Structure 1
Amino acid sequence: MAGRLRAPTGRYAGKSAAERQAERRRRFLDAALELFGGAPGYRATTVAALSEAAGLSTRQFYEAFRTLEDVLAALHLQVNDWAEEAVLTAFTGARDLPLEDRVTAVFRAYAGNVTADPRRIRITFVEIIGVSPRLEEQRLARRSRWVDLICAEATAAAARGEAAPRDYRLAATAFIGGVNGLLHDWSAGWVEAALDEVVEELVRQLLGILRPQGWQPGGSRAA
């Protein structure tokens, strides 16, 4: 019967069909991180090359994915999930700290996670660009999640009297673009600075947004 290949059912080597399928999917994503995030890159990788790198067959590829673009989409989401998890963990650990210390902890966690593996930066900031309208929509949607996170935390800080009360969405959107650009340029060697210096600069910029000139704790402005 014509149609997409179906994965086998039943248990084998102590694993269910679903467990084996999940393991093969992980192996394809691991191989994609290596090939898409390094050499030769997404556009020069074939299904056959990816399958060989994963130690699997092309038949098994089509049991897990429809196209290489599906693999890139899944990998992009995974890389963002890793960074988001690191940030949320940092937020939890720094919840009771002063604003500057909270911001520093969060950006150190984000920058450390993203830059720990240059392949992740390439997936997030290079390979995903210009592939298709679908992936562009996904990229912007994930960036919007980061904007939402900053807006939520900034609004909470304003409610505590730690930051100026305002609509932060426009500023947060501009700031996230700057974060992405700086981290990409730093990873590419175009910015001569230690990672700690990059984090300190990002912290200064965000604090400048949260606490504009003339603003004082408690919500008032200097006369």
Structure 2
Amino acid sequence: MTDVRPYRGVQARDRVAERRRRLLDAGLELLGGTDGPPDLTVRAVCAHAGITARYFYESFTDKDALVAAVFDRVVADIAATTQAAVAAAPPEEQNRAGIANLVDAVAADARVGRLLFNPRLTNAVLARKRFEAGGLFALLSGEHAASAYALPDDDWTKSAAHFIVGGVAQTISAWVSGDVALSQSQLVSHLTRMLDLLAARERDRH
């Protein structure tokens, strides 16, 4: 049983949280630190985090649970900052604000870009989490479109949101892997222009 007594003035729950954070950081580094297949074993994660293996299992049942948690933390951070950026922008700049925040996050930390978009990372858990995240971002995009462009919250708007999210994800994936040679600002402008055009056509259809 894990020791629950305070140690050097630090409560047990805080020590557990700190060890979990270090394991998540190590997981992100091992998953996204290189373009090649990650050396993702419990032993490797613990060595990178500087934590003995017995502490791994106080936070995660296995390495797949760690991968899912790493992905969820990254997506939650991006979703929160993107929603905040969109909310702070005037309506005509909201598409650009959302795209710029996403691209900035990927550009600021190459590990994030690889984790979310690198097609060479073929971990089965990552594939499932990427699919789930696509649904989340499609939902957020649909809600934004319905609000910003006064579009009905119907299946047409939902299908357009899925189309947009898929297209954005594929374009950023190509950019991350080097298949699209645009600067960061060019990528943001290009994606924004396409989104604005699609939104305008969808609005005119209604």
Tell me if both proteins adopt one fold, taking TM over 0.5 as the criterion. yes
Contact 2:143 2:153 in 1 (8 A): no
1:151 aligns with 2:146: no
Contact 1:36 1:45 in 2 (8 A): yes
% identical equivalent positions: 29
In 2, distance between residues paired with 1:74 and 1:144? 17
1:45 corresponding residue in structure 2: 40
1:119 aligns with 2:108: no
1:179 maps to amino acid: V
Indicate which of 174, 182, 195 corresponds to 1:206. Answer: 195
In 1, distance between residues paired with 2:60 and 2:203? 55
Q: What displacement does 1:146 show?
A: 0.7
* Equivalences for residues 153-168 of structure 1 within 5 A: 153-159=144-150, 167-168=156-157
Per-residue CA shift, 1:56-91, capped at 9, x if unaligned? Answer: 101111222111111100000011012112101102
Change (3 A) 1:137 1:52: closer
Q: What displacement does 1:45 show?
A: 2.0
1:3 corresponding residue in structure 2: none
Q: What displacement does 1:176 show?
A: 0.9
In 1, distance between residues paired with 2:41 and 2:129? 22
Contact 2:138 2:161 in 1 (8 A): yes
Change (3 A) 1:59 1:202: same
In 2, distance between residues paired with 1:108 and 1:40? 24
1:215 aligns with 2:195: no
1:15 corresponding residue in structure 2: 10
Contact 2:31 2:40 in 1 (8 A): yes
SS class of match (2:57): helix
1:170 corresponding residue in structure 2: 159
1:175 maps to amino acid: I
Change (3 A) 1:36 1:14: same
Q: What displacement does 1:120 show?
A: 0.8
In 2, distance between residues paired with 1:213 and 1:87? 23
Q: Who wins on radius of gyration, i.e. which is larger?
A: 1
- Backbone CA RMSD of aligned residues: 2.5
1:93 corresponding residue in structure 2: 88
Q: What displacement does 1:214 show?
A: 9.6
1:181 corresponding residue in structure 2: 170
Change (3 A) 1:8 1:40: farther
In 2, distance between residues paired with 1:203 and 1:40? 28
- Number of aligned residue pairs: give it: 204
Gaps of 5+ in 2: none
In 1, distance between residues paired with 2:142 and 2:100? 19
SS class of match (1:168): helix
Which shifted more, 179-188 or 52-61? 179-188
Contact 1:72 1:128 in 2 (8 A): no
Indicate which of 171, 188, 191 corresponds to 2:180. Answer: 191
In 1, distance between residues paired with 2:26 and 2:167? 30
Per-residue CA shift, 1:1-48, capped at 9, x if unaligned? Answer: xxxxx3211211211111100100000111111111124866532211
1:209 maps to amino acid: L
The structure with more helix, counted as a fraction of residues: 2
